[in-house]
Structure 1
Amino acid sequence: MPSDNIASWLARKRITDVAISTACCAVAFAAGMVLLALMFSVISVIVVMVLFEVFHQTGIAWVVSVLITTAIMALLAYDSFTSGRDDMGNIPLWMFRECCSFGPRLVHDSLRYFTRVLNLARLDIAACSIALTRLARQSKSVTLDELLQLCPGMNRARLRQQLLLIQGVLLIGHDSRVLLSEPLRLILSPLLHNDRKFESNPEPEPEPTPVHEPEKLSPHEILGVAANATLVEIKMAYRNRIKDCHPDRFANMDQTSRERAEEWSKALNAAYATLVADRKR
C-alpha cells in the first residue's frame, strides 16, 4: 500500500525534474551546437587556406575542406566519448583534447537529458510510490524481488530503470538490493509519519544484514556497475553515488550516520580508483 503523501511528493518531484531536465537539455544542446559550429568554421577555414595553395581553386578547396573537416569533427567526437579524460601525462595534448571535446560532450549530455525527460514522463507513480513507501518504512536494504512482489505490473528491468530515475535510490549488490540514501530518507520519513494509514501499523524491522556493508562488496558492486562496464559508465556511476554518500551532506546528523557516510565515501573512492586503474592497463 503506497503512502498518499509519498505519492503526492513523487508526482511533484517528477514535474520539477522534467522541467529541470528539459531546461538542461535545451541549454546543453544549444551551447554544444554553437561550439560545434564554431569549431567547424575554424577548422574549415584553416583547411581551405591549406588546400587553396594546392588546388588554386576556391570551389574545389571548399568542397574538399568540408569533407576533411567533417572527418576531423567525427574523430574528435569519437575521442571525446571513448578516451579517458584523466590522463594528464601530456598537458598540452590534454588541454587541446579537453577544448575540442566541449561541443560533442555538451550535445551528448543534451541527449542524456532528453532521454531522462522521456523516461520521467513514463514514470509509474503508483508502483514507485509503493516501492518508496516500503523502503522508507525500514532502515535496511530491500531485495528487488521483494519490491517486484509489491508491484505485480512491473518487470525487473523496468522497475530498476524507474527507481534509478529517483535521485537517492541506491541499487547495490549487482543491483539485487535497493536502499535509500540518508538525504532521501530524511525527506520521506516525515511524509510517511504524517500519513494516517501508517500511524498504527509500523513496518517490522528485519534482522540486520551485512550485504550493504562496503567491505563485503566488490568494487563493481559498490559502484553498481557491470563487470564489463566502460570507463564512462564507471565515472557516471561514481559521480551519481558519491553525491548521495558524501560526508558533507551528513554534517548535521548523528554520529552513526556520519560514520556510515564516511565509510561509504571512502569505499566509493577506492572502488573508483581500482576500476579506473584496471581500465587504463
Structure 2
Amino acid sequence: MTAVDIVVIVAGLFFGYRLVSNYLSPNTSREQTRQDANPPPKEAPRQQWERHWEPVTPNAPAWFDVLGVVETADLAQIEYAYRVKISQYHPDKVAQMGEDIRQLAEAKSKEINAAYETAVRLRRR
C-alpha cells in the first residue's frame, strides 16, 4: 500500500462523510438562512367550518372540569352534571340580581353549554 493509496482512501472517507452528513442532518447553515429569509406566515387562512370549532375562550378549562365529572364519565353522568350546573348558573335564576351577577351567570352558562356540547359530541362518536 503506497502513500497515494492512503491519501485516496482518506480523501474518499472524508468526502463520503461530508456527503452523508449533509443529507442526514436537517439543520444546515444553508437551510437556516433560507428559513430566516422566508419566515412562516403568522396564521394560515382558515376554512369556514374551522371557525366554529374554537373554544369559548382561548384558555378554557376542559369540558370535564367545567361539568365536574371524570373524563371517562358516561352520557348519563354527563347529562346529570349538566342539569345540576346549568340549574345553578341559568340566567333566568339571577334575573332579579345585579347586572354584574347576571353577566357572570350568562358567561358561566355559555361555558357549561359549550362543555356539554363537546362532551356529547365526543361520546356519540
Amino acid corresponding to residue 256 of structure 1 in structure 2: D
Per the normalisation by structure 2, the TM-score is 0.52
User: Could you say what secondary structure the match of 1:264 adopts?
Assistant: helix
User: Could you say what secondary structure the match of 2:80 adopts?
Assistant: helix
User: Could you say what secondary structure the match of 1:234 adopts?
Assistant: helix
Amino acid corresponding to residue 233 of structure 1 in structure 2: Q
User: Could you say what secondary structure the match of 2:92 adopts?
Assistant: helix
Amino acid corresponding to residue 113 of structure 2 in structure 1: N
Which whole-Å CA distance do the structure 2 matches of 1:227 and 1:251 have between them? 33
Question: Which structure 2 residues correspond to residues 136-175 of structure 1 after superposition, within 5 A?
Answer: none
Which whole-Å CA distance do the structure 2 matches of 1:252 and 1:233 have between them? 31
Question: Which structure 2 residues correspond to residues 1-281 of structure 1 after superposition, within 5 A?
Answer: 216-281=60-125
Q: Deviations over 1:194-229 (max 9, x none)?
A: xxxxxxxxxxxxxxxxxxx9x541111000010101
1:96 paired residue number:
none
5+ long unaligned stretches in structure 2: 1-56
Q: Deviations over 1:81-129 (max 9, x none)?
A: xxxxxxxxxxxxxxxxxxxxxxxxxxxxxxxxxxxxxxxxxxxxxxxxx
Runs of 4+ in 1 over 6 A off after TM superposition: none
Which whole-Å CA distance do the structure 1 matches of 2:60 and 2:76 have between them? 25
Amino acid corresponding to residue 269 of structure 1 in structure 2: N
Q: Which has the larger radius of gyration?
A: 2
CA RMSD of aligned residues (A): 1.5
2:39 paired residue number:
none
User: Could you say what secondary structure the match of 1:251 adopts?
Assistant: coil
User: Could you say what secondary structure the match of 1:262 adopts?
Assistant: helix
Which whole-Å CA distance do the structure 2 matches of 1:216 and 1:269 have between them? 13
Q: How far has the Cα of 1:265 moved from its partner?
A: 0.6
Q: How far has the Cα of 1:244 moved from its partner?
A: 0.5
How many residue pairs were aligned?
Answer: 68
How much identity, in percent, do the aligned residues show?
A: 41
Q: How far has the Cα of 1:240 moved from its partner?
A: 0.7
Per the normalisation by structure 1, the TM-score is 0.24
Q: Which has the higher helix share?
A: 1
